[in-house]
Every structure is written in structure tokens, then in C-alpha cells.
Amino acid sequence: MRMTAIATCVAATLAAGQAVADDISEGRETFWRYCSSCHGEDADGMGPMRPVLIVPPKDLTVLTEENDGTFPLERVIHRIDGRDPLVSHGSEMPVYGDFFNEGGRVTLEAGSGENVETSGVVAHLVAYLRSIQGN
């Protein structure tokens, strides 16, 4: 019985690890397709569109560092989904219409313990952005 419980815990942990890896992989693909032209392939803010933007793109690899060691989940989600618009994009984000509203609704827990609702697409993108902090 105890071995079954341990095996179940190990399987759940592995499945959760694979789910996170899948989220990061999907987020990386979304980033490459929709964000890298401004933020650069390395998310360092050095994309080819940088010269034509009013506000230079943010280096997305230092979000945690610039926020006292805590990934600013709520701010990042709100910036991506348009609840916190940014002039440099010519309009509020996303500039890709309803794409960032796809993938169902997901609730993520912010560092403050508060829940932030977003789309599955944005959740995957955030998983990727979290994975590249400090790179």
C-alpha cells in the first residue's frame, strides 16, 4: 500500500513536471512567433523592431531581478492581455487581436497569494518568461 502511494506521488510529480515543460515549450513558441520581433529572440529587448518603437522593448530576462526577486506575475499578465496598456505597441497589447484570449481561462496564483485570471495562451507565455529569468 505504501509503495503504491509513493508510486502515485512520483507519477503525479513527473506528470506535473511534464505539464510545466509543455507549458514552457508552448510559451516559447508563442514568444518566438508574436513577441521576438520587438523583444528579440533572447527576450533581451533587442528585436529588429526596436528602432521604430516609441518606448524601447523591455529586457524580459530581468523581470524578477528588477522586482526584488519576485516574478511580477500580475503586472506581466496585465501588460500582455491589455489591462495595462503600453504606448510603444501603438495600442494596448495584444496587437494580435483575440489571439491572446485563446486557450480557455486559467487562474494563476501571484506571489501575493492573490489569483490572477488569464487565458491559456498567456499562461503558457508567462511560464516561458518565468523560465528565462536571470538568463
How confident is the model at residue 40, as a pLDDT? 97
pLDDT tens, position by position, 4-34: 444 444 333 333 444 567 799 999 999 999 9
Asked if the model's pLDDT at residue 89 lies above 80, the reply is: no
Contact (Cβ atoms closer than 8 angstroms) between residue 77 and residue 116: yes
Give the 3-state secondary structure of the chain. Answer: CHHHHHHHHHHHHHHHHHHHHHHHHHHHHHHHHHCHHHHCCCCCCCCCCHHHCCCCCCCHHHCCHHHCCCCCHHHHHHHHHCCCCCHHHCCCCCCCCCHHHCCCEEEEECCCCCEEEEEHHHHHHHHHHHHCCCC
pLDDT confidence bin for 54, thresholds 50/70/90: confident
Average pLDDT over residues 65-74: 94
- Place 36 in a pLDDT band, splitting at 50, 70 and 90: very high
Average pLDDT value over all residues in the chain: 81
Is residue 83 pLDDT above 50, yes or no? yes
Please tell me which residue, 13 or 134, carries the higher pLDDT value: 134
- pLDDT band for position 97 (50/70/90)? low
Q: Supply the pLDDT for residue 15.
A: 38
pLDDT for 8 equals 40
Query: With bands split at pLDDT 50, 70 and 90, how would you rate the model's confidence at 56?
Result: confident
